[in-house]
Each structure stands twice: as C-alpha cells, then as structure tokens.
Structure 1
Amino acid sequence: MTPLYYVISVVLVGFHSLLGKVLDPAGGAAWLLSIVGLTLLIRVALIPLFVKQIKSSRNMQLIQPKVKELQKKYGHDRERLAQETMALYKETGTNPFASCLPILLQMPIFLALFRLLDQAADRKAHGVLTQELATQFGQAELFGKIPISSTLIKSDGNMGVIVMALILVLAMTATTFLTQRQLMAKNMPADALSGPYAQQQKMLLYVLPVVFAVGGVAFPIGVLIYWTTSNVWTMGQQFYVIRNNPAPGTPAAHAKQEREEAKAARKRARKGLPEVAPTEEEQAVAEEQHRTAPRQQPKRQTRSQRKKR
C-alpha cells in the first residue's frame, strides 16, 4: 500500500495547499474539497478505461443473439460451448469482464484512502502527509462538529455524524443502483435482456448497492464523499455516452433518432419548408413534372397596349 499512500497523499496535499489559501487549512471544507479533487483526478485518468468498458459492454449486447445460437448448438457440450464462446469474444474484441475493471482498479485507491483517513485520526502519517497534516486531516470537522474521519458505527452518539453518514450511505447506494439501472434501461437492446450477460447485469444491479450499503456503515465520512462523488461522475459520463453514442436497437438509439428528426423538422420550419421532407421518389416526380409542364406563353398585345407600357 505504500506506493498508493504516496500517490494519494501527494494529490491530497497538492489540492489542500491550493485550497488552504482561500479556506481554513485546518477546516473540514479544505480537506473535503481536496478529496473531491482527488476523486475527479482519478476519474479523468480512468476515462480511457471507461471508453473501453463502454465498447466492450456494447459488443456484449450486440453478440447476444450469436451467444444464444452457440448455446442451442453446443448446450450439451459445456467444454465446446466455452471454447466457441471465447472464440466469439476474441473475434469481436469483447472482454466480458471489462465492465468490472473501473471498480476493480478503484478498489486499491479506495482502501488506501480509507486507511489513510482512518489512521490519520490516530495521528499516523503516511506518504508525504506530515505529522502536522495528518493531525489536521484526522481532526478536520465539517460545520464545526462532524469529523470527516468519523464513521456511522463509531459516531459516539454524535447526531451530526449519524445524519450525515446515513445521507451519504443512502446517496452512495442510490447512485450505484441508478448507474447500473441507467445502462440496462437505456442502452441494452431487447434481445440482450435475457441470457447469461443479462443475468450478470441484473445481479450486479442489486448486489453492488447492498454491498456498499452494508459496508458503508464502517466507512469514514471522507471515504463516503469520495465514493459518492465517483458515482455521480460515472452517472454523468455514462449519460453523455448513452445519449450521444447509443448502442443500435436500444431505447437510447430510438430516443436519439427522435431528437434528430425533431431537430430537422424545426430547421425545415424556420426555412418555410414542409414539416415532412419529401422522399426521393416524391422529389423525382416533382422534378419530372416541372420539366414536362408546358411553358406559359405571354399574351399577345396590340401596338397601342405596348405603347402604354
């Protein structure tokens, strides 16, 4: 854990030194915002991995019909089914475990921050966190009475800690659930909502929130802030990707098509064009009629009429 202590403490101390110029360095707000800064920096660094996760998740959805065909064909032979399924994954560049990678990579950082904050409460320094900074970090309080190193199970009857910890545990649990639900409800085609992959997604949908809810009672306030902020970032990032680059055949793809059609209709209305654009066949007929229509000849006029003009 020592390398992680150094990485996390360098980022925390860096943000704290900047925030300490405008906020009380010993106050909880400076340290809390430093944790938020750490979270955002980590999530920015994980963007390439998130893109890979989205791509792999989309491939998993799109190949589900082929996976079902393999199951029907080789359902009696588990070994052959596993071989053919892995060959399909390799052919399509799909990693069935990619959806777990961001969480797995964040867990060591999560644990390092947990221990860093937990031991700072006992004035134990790690990394570049000096004894003085460790004491500040461990004793920093929000609103003058909520130590960010306190946990729900070690609140010592502090109602401020109990209320804030409960709020953050619920927020962490809800955002974990909604992030997974957002993916299943908006970016999974109908034929991908059954089968092994769908069962895995449904299991994660309910298991992960329960795990975080149970474990959250032992997490310090600062760690709860970290994980909740990370979840909110994931929801926003996932919303952007699903909205602008949805998987084909999903509700998100249909919603995007409707938005594009509505936008095109508004554009035609501003130009005074018909609400519904003519089809290629209708355009061809209109052009043919325009070419074959007889030209209107000007009326003959007498010499006196021409002089009047």
Structure 2
Amino acid sequence: MPEIPFWNELIVSPLTQGLIYLHRYLGSFGLAIIVFTVLIRIVMLPLTIQQLRASREMQKLQPLLGELQRKYARDRSMLAQEQMRLYREHGINPAAGCLPMLLQMPIWFGLYQALFSLSNDPQFASVFLWVPNVAATPEPITELFSKPWPWLQANWWSLPLAVFTGASQWVLQKMMTPTSSDPQQQMLAGMMNFMPIMFAFFAFSVPHGLVLYWAASNVVSLVQQYFFTGWGGLRPAAVVATPSRPAHPARPERPAARGAEAAPLPPRAEAPSPGGIRTYTLEPDAEGRAAPSAEERPGERPQRPPRRKRRRP
C-alpha cells in the first residue's frame, strides 16, 4: 500500500498499539481482535443508531417515493427535487446510512497493515480456536484449482472461518434489506447477494485476523439490527389466510306472488258419474288454495263456449 502522509501516525500506529496492549492483557491475539472489534463498534454506536433510524424512516417513505417515481418518470430533475423536498419534510438524510460504512473503511485498511506488520513477530503467532496462526495469511485460493489436495491440507482450517463470514454477511444483508414489490429494489437486492460471496472469497487473501474482525463485526451488527428493526427482510412473507366461504344454503322456494301465474296442479281422477262422464278436481296447494281459474289469471282471456250456428228457416 503506498505511503500516505500521516496515515501511519493517525490510523496504523494507534491500531497496532491497541492490539499489542490487548494481546498483553488478554494473552490471546484472536481474543484481542474480538475485544478490539467490540470496542470499535461501541465507539461507532451513535452513528450506527443514526444509520438504523434513517433506514427505518426510508422504509416508511417507500410508498411516497414510488408515487413520485411514477409521477415524474420522464422528468429526472423534477424527481430529484421532489425527493429532496420529501426528505427535508421528514428530516431524513439519505447519506446517513453510508456514513458508518465509510468510517470503517480506514479501519479495515489500517487493521490490514497492522496485522500484516505483526504477522512477522513470533509472539503473535498464537492459536485461536481451530486457527493455528491468527496473524498469518493463507495461500491464495487460486492454487486450489492447480493443486487442490495440497491446498486443502494446508488451509482446511480457513474454510470454516470464510464460510461463517460469508453466511453472517448474507444474514445481515437480508435483515437490512426490506421486502419490496418494486422491480428496481428486487434487482438491487439480487445484485447485493453477491457481496457475501465476495467476502468469503477475500477471506482467503487477507490475514486471518482481519477475517476474524469481519466475522465479529457481523455478529455485533446482527445483534444491533435485531434490537432496532427485528428480523427485517429475513422474516418470511406473511401469508394471509383467506377463509373459505360457506356454501350458500338452499333457499326455500318462495310462494308465488299474487297475480303471478301459478303452475297447474295435476288433476286427480274421480269415479265416473252415472252418465259415464269422468270428472276431475284439482289438488289444493300447500296453503290449501286451489289453482286460480282463467278469470283470475292476468294476461289470459277466459275461454268462451263455442257459438252455435243458427239454422235458417
């Protein structure tokens, strides 16, 4: 890394001295890195709270921002003005979410230089958990394809740490990314899914102490994110149970309205009269009424008896 004026005095030297002091006090270089990470996150806690609050307020403004995007889809300048006006009305700084990340970048680079300089000192070549040397840098992962078995034999202990770092980064990213039906937000979330893979890949190119710092920082961020916003986008989408509609009961047949045409009832045969003429009567309905006659039916003219022809004298 090229020499930058006051870089070593302002960043690298304080980090190195802090790690040396914690190592002497705790007796473990890996534990010193974890405690150092927690202290750094405590110092940055006010900025982290500001970032989480800004993220929560931005989630609340997503419906209004979507309306502005649809309204000013063809006027980018007007869209930017309306968005800034909306941010000012709600007291939100869009850059507040990037500030903690930007402040951690110098710490990452400074810690990389500090660990690289301490890796040559034998007193820091200590074992932590399953890692034989926290200050050492593993062999490049590109050699895995040329000589896979020797690389795995020499660096197998770096795989769990890299996988844990990538998995914790993925969980943290899911918690920070709210579920949205906006196609642009979904595309951005899909692109961000490559970040955990990149972190896991870089874990084989930097000292293990720096990877341990990433993993510890992710765990602290997971705890902070959970207490401020809950599981966030990691929570499964709520499925609204739609109650099944009960089957409509069979409606009872309503009686025919007065004046409506009623269906004729089947006739019942009677015994033949003495004259040999068979007569019929109608069965009454459920209310004891007989079928209406033709005179009572609207729209029907009563049948007249046939006219008899008169004979001329």
The residue that corresponds to 2:103 in the other structure is 105
1:45 counterpart = 2:43: yes
The residue that corresponds to 1:72 in the other structure is 70
- For residues 224 and 230 of structure 1, the distance between their equivalents in structure 2, rounded to whole angstroms, comes to 10
SS of the equivalent of 1:146 reads coil
The residue that corresponds to 2:155 in the other structure is 162
Give the conservation status (yes or no) of the 8 Å contact 2:137–2:208: yes
Q: 2:18 aligns with which of 11, 28, 31?
A: 11
Change in 2 beyond 3 A, CA 1:63/1:210: same
1:225 counterpart = 2:220: no
1:183 counterpart = 2:176: yes
Change in 2 beyond 3 A, CA 1:79/1:215: same
Give the conservation status (yes or no) of the 8 Å contact 2:131–2:158: no
Structure 1: which 5+ runs fail to align?
A: 21-29, 124-133, 255-309
1:140 counterpart = 2:126: yes
- For residues 95 and 54 of structure 2, the distance between their equivalents in structure 1, rounded to whole angstroms, comes to 9
Give the conservation status (yes or no) of the 8 Å contact 1:56–1:93: no
SS of the equivalent of 2:136 reads coil
Give the conservation status (yes or no) of the 8 Å contact 1:60–1:197: no
Give the conservation status (yes or no) of the 8 Å contact 2:170–2:196: yes
- The one-letter amino acid paired with 1:80 is M
Q: 2:191 aligns with which of 199, 203, 206?
A: 203
Offset, 1:220: 1.2
Give the conservation status (yes or no) of the 8 Å contact 1:150–1:161: no
User: How many residues matched?
Assistant: 222
Give the conservation status (yes or no) of the 8 Å contact 1:151–1:161: no
Offset, 1:57: 0.6
Alignment RMSD, CA only? Answer: 3.0
1:42-78: CA deviation from partner (whole Å, max 9, x where unpaired)? 0111111111111111111111111111112211111
Larger of the two Rg values belongs to structure? 2
The residue that corresponds to 1:149 in the other structure is 135
Offset, 1:198: 5.5
Change in 2 beyond 3 A, CA 1:219/1:193: farther
Greater helix content? 1
The within-5 A match list for 1:71-90 is 71-90=69-88
Give the TM-score of the pair, scaled to structure 1: 0.63
The within-5 A match list for 1:263-274 is none
Structure 2: which 5+ runs fail to align?
A: 1-6, 144-149, 239-313
Bigger relative contact order (CA 8 A; separation at least 6): 1
- Structure 1 residue ranges (4+ consecutive) displaced by more than 6 angstroms after TM superposition: none
Give the TM-score of the pair, scaled to structure 2: 0.62
- For residues 96 and 195 of structure 1, the distance between their equivalents in structure 2, rounded to whole angstroms, comes to 21
Offset, 1:193: 4.3
The residue that corresponds to 1:258 in the other structure is none
- For residues 223 and 251 of structure 1, the distance between their equivalents in structure 2, rounded to whole angstroms, comes to 30
